[in-house]
Amino acid sequence: LQTVMVWLPRTLNEVALEMLELVAVQVAEANPAEILRILGSPESDALAAAITLSGRLRLQPSVPGLAQNLGHGDPRIRLGAAQALGEIGSPGAFAALERGLTDADREVRLYAVRALGGRAHKGALKAVEAVVHAKNAEDLDLTERQAFFEAYATIAGTAALAPLAELVQGGSGLFKRKASAGTRACAIGAITKIRHPDVRAIVERAAQDKDAVVRNAAGRALREVLE
């Protein structure tokens, strides 16, 4: 199995690649312990392929090994491990994926927060909320900031409505900082993920804001989401 997986990323011929993938799946299904062994070998040339195969086959026993590889020195390995955990999708896999929320690599963080938010994984609430409320949240690019805000709204539900509404209005209460227009726009997008009768009124008020970025975000929300 290790030999086959070492050659998988090196194979350019499509027919040969398809055959190797088929062999890898068949051997892995018959010998899951070998997958686990490779996952525990951080220097193995077959590690990346073993991670991919673990996700493809949704191998629940591979979760501890994948979690271990979230600490690997190579961000590509960490991203692969995060994606495999997301594909497995069990409670244990998502609990392990929480570690990806604080990864040093943006792509790992972005995948983790989208996967955990998409499943409204309650275990991630504390870490996601910490990012949303952090003073350095403005340091995140808008794509990542939006992902964290939306995950916060999805996971916390109606409990997130008041804090996000305060942020849309400029920052007060829990948000003891002046929020940028970009962050306020992220908060508007996040609010639309919450099912509550007050959401429309909050967004409609934002549509009258003096800042064009905030007004445009509110306008999009009203047209695309709240109609």
Quick: pLDDT tens for 35-47.
899 999 999 988 9
Place of tokens 């209005």: 169
- Output the pLDDT for position 116: 98
Q: 141-168 pLDDT, tens per residue? A: 999 999 999 999 999 999 999 999 999 9
C-alpha separations of 42 from 38, 88, 90, 171, 225 in Å: 8, 21, 24, 45, 45
Q: What is the 3-state secondary structure (H, E, C) of the chain?
A: CHHHHHHHHHCCCHHHHHHHHHHHHHHHHHCHHHHHHHHCCCCCCCHHHHHHHHHHCCCHHHHHHHHHHCCCCCHHHHHHHHHHHHHHCCHHHHHHHHHHHHCCCHHHHHHHHHHHHHCCCHHHHHHHHHHHHCHHHHHCCHHHHHHHHHHHHHHHHHHHHHHHHHHHCCCCCCCCCCCCHHHHHHHHHHHCCCCCCCHHHHHHHHCCCCCHHHHHHHHHHHHHCCC
Q: Are 120 and 137 in contact (CB under 8 A)?
A: no
Residues 33/39, Cβ–Cβ less than 8 Å? no
Average pLDDT, the chain: 90
pLDDT digits (tens, 9 = 90+) for 162-195: 999 999 987 555 555 578 899 999 999 999 999 9
Pairwise pLDDT comparison (33 vs 12), residue with the higher score: 33
Distances from the Cα of 114 to the Cαs of 1, 54, 121, in angstroms? 32, 20, 10
The answer for 74, left when phi > 0, alpha when psi is -120 to 50, beta otherwise, is: beta
pLDDT in tens, 80-126: 999 999 999 999 999 999 999 999 999 999 999 999 999 999 999 99
Quick one: pLDDT at residue 227?
65
pLDDT at 4: 79
